[in-house]
Amino acid sequence: MNRINQKLKEDKKLLSIYFSAGYPELEDSVQIIQDLEKSGVDFIEIGLPFSDPLADGPTIQESSTKALKNGMTTQKLFSQIKNIRSSVEIPLIIMGYFNPILQYGIEEFCKKCKEVGVDGLIIPDLPVDVYSEKYKAIFEKYGLINIFLITPQTSEERIRFIDSVSNGFIYMVSSASVTGSSKGFGEETTKYFERISKMNLENPQIVGFGISDHETFSQATKFAKGAIIGSAFIKHFDKNGTEHISDFVSSIRPLT
């Protein structure tokens, strides 16, 4: 069973952390992954830097730009994590845009993911219908879970189609804005979380965008299986360095 599916079976609210590969320094990625697992995180999203990250807010855009300047590439990331499974067991998800994956070669990219132990992908600009028609068989051949995003504006019909194509979790965007732009959740967003919960989808939902502390994590997971934090984590090690990762994680969800 895929590590993502194994984790989703656990009886707790899940915490996923995003960071940009190659940031703050080019060779930091493996240590960050190891430290996040030791800190009790459930999933790790490894951001594959791209020059035109449409869904990302300023903090993640800046970290992506710096990572590219540091020399991060798709091949460099695969080289860095080629032995990652000798030291960590945590589910690993690469979040990236479709253009670099297409340039690398769809099947070759998926094959490489399997070789190094990546469990899933989040590709915000790959439409679910295109994936279903052209690429689903390739992803499944290499045991990869592809995770799709929904927003408050996504129609019920589209959500149910995404649910039918998915085999892991659904990334529930808390708002229509970019990452890192929200401060807490209002009544409208809470109603959206509740509405999706009442749809009784086959795949659990994990909320992203706007989660930055214990309070917003608790709000986001009231109706969902878990939550994803990116911008707030990057801001934390911008301020405190990469040596204090456990402090950030315990501030969001204390170890039990």
List 28, 35, 42, 56, catalytic entry: 56
Please report which helix (H) or strand (E) contains residue 74, including its range. Answer: helix 74-80
The answer to whether the peptide bond before residue 91 is cis (omega within 30 degrees of 0) is: no
Determine the Cα–Cα distance for residues 42 and 92; give it in Å rounded to an integer: 9
- Catalytic-residue membership of 89: no
Determine the Cα–Cα distance for residues 54 and 44; give it in Å rounded to an integer: 21
List 28, 45, 119, 163, catalytic entry: 45
List residues bridging with 46 in a β-sheet.
Answer: 19, 94
Write out the DSSP string of 199-215: T--SS-EEEESS--SHH
The structure tokens listed for 146 are 């592809």
- Catalytic-residue membership of 56: yes
Where in the sequence numbering do the catalytic residues fall? 45, 56
